[in-house]
């Protein structure tokens, strides 16, 4: 697990810097990284924006790795961990909820269900941030389509999804004013307001 998370950390370092710059964090006081593993993305964001109160929501078995990692980064007590399951436990309330590489692991019904739960957890006036290797609406980008095929092979129900589909699911959950922008040349960040 540590080796796997180390690979995720190398990636989330770059993604965290991009997200730190792409979003106006001055409007928000708190965020939760849903499925945030050992807290690396959250660590990058709080280093870039020290005013933020940060949290990670992931399976309880991840807690020891989270504690070890955030302590090593000098952020012990700066990023909170909540253990639980996306679909059965309450998602911690925050101004912003981040879902990175989460929705592609589920089928459409579960994606909608999770976004409804996220809507309930985002404070009024807050946002949801979703990043993934989303498929362009015209389905012209072969790398994104190949990524979707890969998800189909390694996940029972997962696949990438189109930006337009995500915007529809977000609106169905109650979010408004969704926008999409590229990240790192390989991903798309979609944000929406509660």
Choice among 28, 69, 104, 187 that is catalytic: 104
Best CA proximity match to 163, nearest among 176, 187, 147, 180: 180
Count Cβ atoms within 10 A of the Cβ of residue 2 and give its class: 0-12 exposed, 13-18 middle, 19 or more buried: exposed
- Please report how many Cα atoms fall inside a 13 Å half-sphere around the Cα of residue 61, on the Cβ side: 3
Contact 134, 105 (CB under 8 A): no
What backbone torsions phi and psi does residue 164 show, to the nearest 5 degrees? -60, -35
* Residue entry with tokens 């946002």: 127
Longest dimension (CA), the chain: 45
Active site residue 28: no
- Measure Cα distances from 155 to 16, 73, 150, 151 in Å: 25, 32, 8, 6
- Residues facing residue 35 across a β-bridge: none
Tokens linked to 28: 């928000």
Contact 128, 192 (CB under 8 A): yes
**Active site residues per annotation:** 104
């Amino acid at each position: 697990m540590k080796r796997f998370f180390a690979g995720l950390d190398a990636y989330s370092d770059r993604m965290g810097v991009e997200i730190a710059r792409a979003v106006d964090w001055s409007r928000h006081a708190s965020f939760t990284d849903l499925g945030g593993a050992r807290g690396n993305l959250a660590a990058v964001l709080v280093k870039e924006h020290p005013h933020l109160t940060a949290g990670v929501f992931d399976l309880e078995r991840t807690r020891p790795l989270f504690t070890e990692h955030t302590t090593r980064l000098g952020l012990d007590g700066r990023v909170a961990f909540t253990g639980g399951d996306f679909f059965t436990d309450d998602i911690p309330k925050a101004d912003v909820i981040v879902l990175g590489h989460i929705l592609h692991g589920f089928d459409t019904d579960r994606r909608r269900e999770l976004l409804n739960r996220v809507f309930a957890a985002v404070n009024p006036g807050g946002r949801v941030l979703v990043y993934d290797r989303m498929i362009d609406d015209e389905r012209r980008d072969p790398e994104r389509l190949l990524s979707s095929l890969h998800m189909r092979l390694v996940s029972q129900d997962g696949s990438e999804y189109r930006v337009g589909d995500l915007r529809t699911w977000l609106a169905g959950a109650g979010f408004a004013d969704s926008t999409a922008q590229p990240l790192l040349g390989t991903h798309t960040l979609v944000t929406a307001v509660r």
